[in-house]
Amino acid sequence: MSVELPEAKILADQMNLELKGKRVKSYLLKDYERLQRIGMMDKDLTSFNQLVNRKIETVASRGNVIRIKFDNGANLILGPEYGGEIFYHTDAANVPKFHLRVDFSDGTVLTVRLTSMGVIQVLKDDELERSYVYKRDFDSTKLSPTDEEFTFERFSKRMADHNKMLKSVLVGKDAILVGVSNSTFQDILYRARLHPKRKASELNAEEKRSLYDAIRLVLKERIRLKGKDKFHDLHGKQGSYTPAMGPNMKQQTCPECGTSIEKLSLGGGHVYLCPKCQV
Ligand SMILES: [Zn+2]
């Protein structure tokens, strides 16, 4: 299942608790040829050797990307944003299918499997900028909606500079934020009661406030409910957050007003909305 900002944060927090201080005994890569062909893994896999015998210092996430930092300046970058599974195991003999398996000196194991587009990379601190996903989401000039620096004032100011449709301001490489996917965008806009074709700079103060509050609410609720309903955390536990709007509302009616949900083609993707509530 997709691992976006809330799920990446849940995993990083859990990894910080379980993995910090552990030493890598060995690693194993499997069935990775296809991943290399489509650029989800580097051609040269000797970079993974840097992890052997090294200790995990800390684990952090920003946007959809997880950074596991080792005591020799190497980093394991995990970005399973369109689908992946990251699990921790205390029984080394009983692990599911994986692309990367990391065995620790205490007998515990971490497995990573990409089920759709994503990234598994090992990079030294001074090579991190080479990683497209790291560069995109750890870019400190962009706001991260779960950071303390994401204030209404800052958000509001950045919004005012953009005479573009909300989707391109909130989602994708030119967004002012990190970690908002097209599916999260639909959920947020429905809760903010805004039409996805509205332009950022044209929102009034009240609308900007609803949008800001909806962004915070959706991400906070997804973290509180342990991720989206198809996501499994580090211990295999399933999340229970269901989006208020998105593909799951296809051919349904709006729970607020009873109007049929519409599907709109927008910015190279589809957006579901309530044409009555979202104006
Ligand atoms: Zn409605």
pLDDT tens for each residue of 26-57: 999 999 999 999 888 988 999 999 999 999 99
Percent of the chain whose pLDDT exceeds 70 = 100
Query: What element of type H or E holds 184?
Result: helix 182-192
- CA 199 to CA 164: how far, in whole Å? 5
**Helix (H, G, I), strand (E, B), or coil: what is residue 224?**
helix
Phi then psi dihedrals of residue 137, to 5 deg: -95, -25
Looking at residues 122-135, what average pLDDT do you find?
95
What is the Å distance from ligand 1's center to 165 Cα? Answer: 21
Ligand 1 centre to CA of 73 (Å) is 51
CA of 143 to the centre of ligand 1 (A): 30
pLDDT tens per residue across span 182-192? 999 999 999 99
Helix, strand, or coil (residue 132): helix
Of 20, 181, 17, 42, give the one whose Cα is nearest residue 99: 42
HSE-up (13 A, CA, CB side) for residue 275 = 7
Output the CA 278–ligand 1 centroid distance in Å.
Answer: 7
Instruction: Check the CA dihedral 34-40-44-46 and report its sign.
Output: negative
pLDDT in tens, 64-108: 999 999 999 999 999 998 899 999 999 999 999 999 999 999 999
**Proportion of the chain above pLDDT 90, given as a percent:** 90
Q: How far is CA 212 from the centre of its chain?
A: 19
pLDDT digits (tens, 9 = 90+) for 152-167: 999 999 998 888 999 9
Q: What is the pTM of this model?
A: 0.95
**Greatest CA span in the chain, whole angstroms?**
59
